[in-house]
Amino acid sequence: MSAAIEPPRSIGVAGFARFQAWIQRESGIYLPESKRTLLIRRLGRRIADLGLDSFSAYYHRAKELGESETVRMIDCLCTHETSFFREAKQFELLATQILPAWAGEADAGIRPRRVSAWSAACSTGEEPFSLAMLLASALPAEAGWKIEILASDLSTRVLALAREAVWPAERATGIPESFRKRFLLRGLNHQEGKVKAAPEIQRLVRFERINLAALRYPVEAGLDLIFCRNVLIYFDPPTRAGVISRLARHLRPGGLLFLGHAENLAGAAGPDFRPEAPNVYRRAETRAPTAPPTPRTPETP
């Protein structure tokens, strides 16, 4: 029986630069020199699993394997930290100000009873399902509301987990008790110690792999909400500006963009957004251009 291959423990400057360029081209993620150790640690196990002993050998093998291995490589490098109702003040803003205002507008007949949202880096699903719980509670279907949530991520691995909508029970501690009772099912027998999203909110969420570095997104325009939190920090300034510009195209005028606590639109927002709350931005309302005044014909003396 052959001995297991040990993961490689180093990569040269030129080799790191080659991976750095490849990863940024495929995902938009910029790995500075300070992330060289992270690359070695996260890709090393995959390299050994393929029976290879160096990053150079893996580079050539991955190129031979094509897109499937590129996706696998990026999965290994992505960070997927998340939790239910993470950055609670943003959900509080929705619950106490934004959603009541929309309900009032719908009652007055000045907006449709429809909300469309996009969780643009959904990881294992806690964010879109937090949003689904809040929207389903505040804007109920029995009152005529239709809710649609797109959940996307670059990682196929975490998307598969998010689609299952099953989590360890301890991850649900951040969910308000009333929501836990209404929207979560407790596992029994072999599923004991786990919770699952109830069909009521699973129906509201659909999943798709989307690369935010792509020049176009397969997403409808006119969205009310976009959550793109803790993603922009991985992009260099030009990539970040491009992502923000593309997100703006998919929000309706007056729609809201939610960023992570360490992110802002300083220097990149242009005229598209104005601050609504910390790390929350509203897309500027569009106004019809004002017609120039009609020239007056001089009166004949």
* CATH number where 166 lies: 3.40.50.150
Lowest mean pLDDT among 19-23, 103-107, 279-283, 295-299: 295-299
Confidence band of 297 (pLDDT split at 50, 70, 90): very low
In this structure, is residue 7 part of a structural domain?
no
pLDDT for the residue numbered 299: 45
Residues 56 and 97 in one domain: no
Catalytically active residues, by annotation = 42, 153
Residues 149 and 217 in one domain: yes
Copy the structure tokens of residue 249: 């195209």
In this structure, is residue 149 part of a structural domain?
yes
Residues 120 and 73 in one domain: no
In this structure, is residue 301 part of a structural domain?
no
- 109 Rama class: left (phi>0) / alpha (psi -120 to 50) / beta: left
DSSP designation for 233: G
pLDDT for the residue numbered 1: 41
pLDDT for the residue numbered 271: 64
Confidence band of 264 (pLDDT split at 50, 70, 90): confident
Q: What is the average per-residue pLDDT within 12-23?
A: 94
Confidence band of 300 (pLDDT split at 50, 70, 90): very low
Mean pLDDT taken over the chain: 90
In this structure, is residue 295 part of a structural domain?
no
**Residue 252 in this model has a pLDDT that exceeds 90:** yes
Percentage of residues in the chain having pLDDT higher than 70? 92
By CB atoms closer than 10 A (0-12, 13-18, 19+), residue 273 is buried
- Give the DSSP H or E segment for 256: strand 251-258
**Residue 2 in this model has a pLDDT that exceeds 70:** no
Residues 125 and 263 in one domain: yes
* CATH number where 25 lies: 1.10.155
pLDDT for the residue numbered 292: 45
Query: In Å, how far are 80, 225, 277 from 83, measured between CA atoms?
Result: 10, 19, 21
Which residue did the predictor score with more confidence, 266 or 29? Answer: 29
pLDDT for the residue numbered 295: 44
Of 169, 171, 170, the C-alpha closest to 185 is 169
pLDDT for the residue numbered 289: 43
pLDDT for the residue numbered 198: 97
How far apart are the C-alpha atoms of 90 and 72, rounded to whole Å?
A: 32
Residues 100 and 189 in one domain: yes
> How are beta strands 251-258 and 223-227 bridged, if at all?
parallel
Q: What is the average per-residue pLDDT within 82-87?
A: 95
Residues 31 and 160 in one domain: no
Confidence band of 190 (pLDDT split at 50, 70, 90): confident
Residues 203 and 54 in one domain: no
pLDDT for the residue numbered 266: 72
What are the phi and psi torsion angles at 54 (to 5°)?
Answer: -155, 160
Residues 29 and 116 in one domain: no
**Residue 126 in this model has a pLDDT that exceeds 90:** yes
Instruction: List the strands of the sheet with 166-168, edge to edge.
Output: 166-168, 194-197, 184-186
Number of domains in the chain: 2
Q: What is the average per-residue pLDDT within 219-247?
A: 93
Q: Say how many C-beta atoms besides its own lie within 10 A of residue 142's C-beta.
A: 5
In this structure, is residue 288 part of a structural domain?
no
Lowest mean pLDDT among 2-6, 113-117, 176-180, 225-229: 2-6
Residues 266 and 142 in one domain: yes
Q: Residue 140 sits in which domain range?
A: 88-283
Name the residue type at position 196.
K
Q: What is the pLDDT of residues 137-151, one digit of tens each?
A: 999 999 999 999 999
What are the phi and psi torsion angles at 149 (to 5°)?
Answer: -125, 120
In this structure, is residue 289 part of a structural domain?
no
Residues 35 and 106 in one domain: no
- Give Cβ neighbours of residue 45 (< 8 Å, ≥ 6 apart): 7, 76
